[in-house]
Amino acid sequence: MYFGLSEDQIFFQDNIKKFLEENSSVDILRKIAADDRTFAKDIHDGIVNLGINGLLVPEEFGGLGLDILFAAAISESLGYGAGATPFIGSYVMAPIAIIDGGSDKQKQNYLTKVASNEVKFGVGFSALTGARDDSEIQIKGNKISGRSLFVLDYEYATHFLISDINGCIGIIDAQANGIDLVELKTIDRTRNVCELILKNVDFEILEQTKNSKNTAEKVIDAGRIMLAADSLGAAQNMINKAVDYAKERKQFGRAIGSFQAVKHMCAEMVAELEPCYALVWHAAHAQKHMPNEARLMACQAKSHLSDVTKEVAKKSTEVHGGMGFTDLLGLHYWFKRIGLNRQLLGTPERVREEAALLQLN
Amino acid sequence: MYFGLSEDQIFFQDNIKKFLEENSSVDILRKIAADDRTFAKDIHDGIVNLGINGLLVPEEFGGLGLDILFAAAISESLGYGAGATPFIGSYVMAPIAIIDGGSDKQKQNYLTKVASNEVKFGVGFSALTGARDDSEIQIKGNKISGRSLFVLDYEYATHFLISDINGCIGIIDAQANGIDLVELKTIDRTRNVCELILKNVDFEILEQTKNSKNTAEKVIDAGRIMLAADSLGAAQNMINKAVDYAKERKQFGRAIGSFQAVKHMCAEMVAELEPCYALVWHAAHAQKHMPNEARLMACQAKSHLSDVTKEVAKKSTEVHGGMGFTDLLGLHYWFKRIGLNRQLLGTPERVREEAALLQLN
Amino acid sequence: MDLHYSKEYLDFEKEVKAFCKKYDGVTFTDASKNPLASSSSKKKKIQVTRSEWQKILIEQGYFARAVPKEYGGYGGEPDILKSRIIATEFSKAKTPAPMGGQGIDMLVPTLLEMGTQEQKEKYIKPTLHGEMIWCQGYSEPNAGSDLAALQTKGELIDGEWVINGQKIWTSTAQYSQMMFCLVRTEPEAQKHAGISYLLIPMDSEGIEVRPLVDMTMKAGFNEVFFTDVKIPETNIVGKRGEGWAVANATLGHERGSLAPPDAIMNRLNMLIDLMKQEKLDGKPLIEHSIYRDRLMKIQGKVMASQSHALRLLSAKLNPGQDVKVGKMIQKLVGTELRHELEGLAIDVMGEIGVLYEDSPHLRDKGSWQFIYMYFLGLIIGGGTSQIQKNIISERGLGLPKEPKVQGAQ
Amino acid sequence: MDLHYSKEYLDFEKEVKAFCKKYDGVTFTDASKNPLASSSSKKKKIQVTRSEWQKILIEQGYFARAVPKEYGGYGGEPDILKSRIIATEFSKAKTPAPMGGQGIDMLVPTLLEMGTQEQKEKYIKPTLHGEMIWCQGYSEPNAGSDLAALQTKGELIDGEWVINGQKIWTSTAQYSQMMFCLVRTEPEAQKHAGISYLLIPMDSEGIEVRPLVDMTMKAGFNEVFFTDVKIPETNIVGKRGEGWAVANATLGHERGSLAPPDAIMNRLNMLIDLMKQEKLDGKPLIEHSIYRDRLMKIQGKVMASQSHALRLLSAKLNPGQDVKVGKMIQKLVGTELRHELEGLAIDVMGEIGVLYEDSPHLRDKGSWQFIYMYFLGLIIGGGTSQIQKNIISERGLGLPKEPKVQGAQ
Is D401 at the interface with chain C, CB within 8 A? Answer: no
Contact between B181 and B147 under an 8 Å Cβ cutoff? The reply is no
Q: Which amino acid is at B165?
A: I
Q: Of the residues B88, B115, B142, which one is the last residue of a structural domain?
A: B115
- Which residue in C has a C-alpha nearest to residue D291's C-alpha? C290
Chain D residues whose CB is inside 8 A of the A342 CB are: 347
**Res C382: pLDDT:** 74
Handedness of CA D33, D38, D44, D45 (dihedral sign): negative
**Res D399: pLDDT:** 96
Angle between helices C330-349 and C243-257 (to 10 degrees): 40
pLDDT digits over B26-74, tens only?
999 999 999 899 999 999 999 999 999 999 999 999 999 999 999 999 9
Chain C residues whose CB is inside 8 A of the A6 CB are: 1
Cα–Cα dist C87/C94, whole Å? 10
Cα–Cα dist D136/D152, whole Å? 14
Is A258 at the interface with chain B, CB within 8 A? Answer: no
Residue B251, in any domain of the structure:
yes
Is B259 at the interface with chain A, CB within 8 A? Answer: yes
For residues A245 and A287, membership in a common domain is answered with yes
Coil/strand/helix, residue D28: strand
Nearest by CB to C408, which of D289, D290, D403? D403
Residue B1, in any domain of the structure:
no
C397, A267: Cβ pair inside 8 Å?
yes
**Res A223: pLDDT:** 98
Is A360 at the interface with chain C, CB within 8 A? Answer: yes
**Res D88: pLDDT:** 85
Residue B2, in any domain of the structure:
no
Contact between A180 and A222 under an 8 Å Cβ cutoff? The reply is no
Contact between A49 and A80 under an 8 Å Cβ cutoff? The reply is no
What average pLDDT does the segment B126-139 reach?
86
D361, A150: Cβ pair inside 8 Å?
no
Residues of chain C with pLDDT under 70: 31-44, 250-261, 404-409
Nearest by CB to A347, which of D279, D347, D358? D347
Q: Can you name the residues that pair with C135 across neighbouring β-strands?
A: C179
Residues 317-356 of B with CB under 8 A from D: 349, 352-353, 355-356
Residue A341, in any domain of the structure:
yes
DSSP states along A172-236: EETTSTTEEEEEE-BS-TTS-EEEEEEEEEE-EE-GGGSS-SHHHHHHHHHHHHHHHHHHHHHHH
Q: What are phi and psi of B24, to 5 degrees?
A: -140, 60
DSSP states along D225-281: EEEEEEEETT-EESSTTBHHHHHHHHHHHHHHHSS-HHHHHHHHHHHHHHHHH-EET
Contact between B54 and B99 under an 8 Å Cβ cutoff? The reply is no
> Per-residue pLDDT for B291 more than 80?
yes
Cα–Cα dist B18/B24, whole Å? 10
Inter-CA distances, C339 with A275, C372, C375, D71, Å: 18, 5, 6, 62
Is B186 at the interface with chain C, CB within 8 A? Answer: yes
Q: Mean pLDDT of successive 10-residue segments in chain D (409 residues)?
A: 92 96 90 47 73 95 93 91 88 87 90 95 96 93 79 95 95 93 89 90 97 91 96 96 86 48 86 95 94 98 95 88 87 95 97 95 95 95 86 94 62
Nearest by CB to C399, which of A257, A281, A353? A257
| Bridge pairing between strands A121-124 and A159-163 | parallel
Catalytic residue among C15, C52, C160, C254: C254
Neighbouring residues of C298: CB distance < 8 A, sequence distance ≥ 6: C268, C271, C337, C340, C341, C344
Is C406 at the interface with chain A, CB within 8 A? Answer: no
Is A260 at the interface with chain B, CB within 8 A? Answer: yes
pLDDT digits over B333-352, tens only?
999 999 999 999 999 999 99
Contact between A322 and D168 under an 8 Å Cβ cutoff? The reply is yes
- CATH code, B81: 1.10.540.10
Is B252 at the interface with chain A, CB within 8 A? Answer: no
**Res C36: pLDDT:** 42
**Res B321: pLDDT:** 92
Cα–Cα dist C168/A290, whole Å? 48
For residues B222 and B303, membership in a common domain is answered with yes
D380, A324: Cβ pair inside 8 Å?
yes
- CATH code, A179: 2.40.110.10
Residue A1, in any domain of the structure:
no
Q: Of the residues A85, A115, A145, which one is the last residue of a structural domain?
A: A115
Chain A residues whose CB is inside 8 A of the B259 CB are: 260
ipTM confidence score = 0.94
Q: Quick one: DSSP state of residue B178?
A: T
D351, A150: Cβ pair inside 8 Å?
yes
For residues B218 and B333, membership in a common domain is answered with yes
For residues A220 and A306, membership in a common domain is answered with yes
Q: Of the residues A209, A235, A258, which one is the last residue of a structural domain?
A: A209
For residues B53 and B177, membership in a common domain is answered with no
Chain B residues whose CB is inside 8 A of the A318 CB are: none
Which residues of D carry out catalysis?
A: 254
A131, D360: Cβ pair inside 8 Å?
no
Contact between A114 and A223 under an 8 Å Cβ cutoff? The reply is no
pLDDT digits over C99-152, tens only?
888 899 899 999 999 999 999 999 999 999 999 999 999 999 887 777 778 999
For residues B352 and B233, membership in a common domain is answered with yes
**Res C260: pLDDT:** 54
For residues B194 and B228, membership in a common domain is answered with no
Domain span holding position B24? 7-115
Cα–Cα dist C308/C321, whole Å? 13
Cα–Cα dist C147/B321, whole Å? 13
Is A188 at the interface with chain D, CB within 8 A? Answer: yes
Chain D residues whose CB is inside 8 A of the B349 CB are: 293
DSSP states along D49-71: -HHHHHHHHHHHTSSSTTS-GGG
Neighbouring residues of C158: CB distance < 8 A, sequence distance ≥ 6: none
**Res A55: pLDDT:** 97
Residue B231, in any domain of the structure:
yes
Closest chain D C-alpha to C286 CA, distance in angstroms: 13
- CATH code, A287: 1.20.140.10
Residues in chain C: 409
Closest chain C C-alpha to D342 CA, distance in angstroms: 21
How many domains would you assign to chain A? 3
Cα–Cα dist D53/D56, whole Å? 5
Residues 54-93 of B with CB under 8 A from C: none
For residues B231 and B293, membership in a common domain is answered with yes
Cα–Cα dist A342/B293, whole Å? 36
Is D283 at the interface with chain C, CB within 8 A? Answer: no
**Res D258: pLDDT:** 42
Coil/strand/helix, residue C208: strand
Contact between C72 and C129 under an 8 Å Cβ cutoff? The reply is yes
For residues B151 and B230, membership in a common domain is answered with no
Number of Cβ atoms within 10 Å of the Cβ of C14: 12
For residues B137 and B71, membership in a common domain is answered with no
**Res D407: pLDDT:** 46
- Single out the residue of D120, D122, D127 nearest to residue D51, CA to CA: D127
Residue A97, in any domain of the structure:
yes
Please name each of the domains of chain D with its CATH number: 7-99 (no CATH), 133-242 (2.40.110.10), 258-396 (1.20.140.10)
Coil/strand/helix, residue A145: strand
**Res D181: pLDDT:** 96
Q: Which amino acid is at C217?
A: M
Long-range Cβ pairs for the range B250-253 (8 Å, 24+): B250/C142, B251/C143, B251/C144, B251/C145, B251/C146, B251/C149, B252/C145, B252/C146, B252/C149, B252/C408, B253/C405, B253/C408, B253/C409
* pLDDT tens for each residue of chain A, 361 residues long: 899 999 999 999 999 999 999 999 999 999 999 989 999 999 999 999 999 999 999 999 999 999 999 999 999 999 999 999 999 999 999 999 999 999 999 999 999 999 999 999 999 999 999 888 777 899 999 999 999 999 999 999 999 999 999 999 999 999 999 999 999 999 999 999 999 999 999 999 999 999 999 999 999 999 999 999 999 999 999 999 999 999 999 888 899 999 999 999 999 999 999 999 999 999 999 999 999 999 999 999 999 999 999 999 999 999 999 999 999 999 999 999 999 999 999 999 999 999 999 998 6
Task: Provide the phi-psi class of C319: left if phi over 0, else alpha when psi is between -120 and 50, else beta.
Answer: alpha
Contact between A134 and A239 under an 8 Å Cβ cutoff? The reply is no
A326, D369: Cβ pair inside 8 Å?
no
For residues A203 and A219, membership in a common domain is answered with no
- Single out the residue of C185, C188, C307, C191 nearest to residue C236, CA to CA: C185
pLDDT digits over B219-253, tens only?
999 999 999 999 999 999 999 999 999 999 988 88
**Res B94: pLDDT:** 98
Angle at alpha carbon of residue A311, lines to A310 and A312, rounded to 5°: 95
For residues B194 and B267, membership in a common domain is answered with no
Nearest by CB to C380, which of B259, B322, B342? B322
Inter-CA distances, B171 with B62, B107, B155, B175, Å: 21, 12, 16, 12
Burial degree of A206 (CB within 10 A; 0-12, 13-18, 19+) = buried
Is C121 one of the annotated active-site residues of the chain?
Answer: no
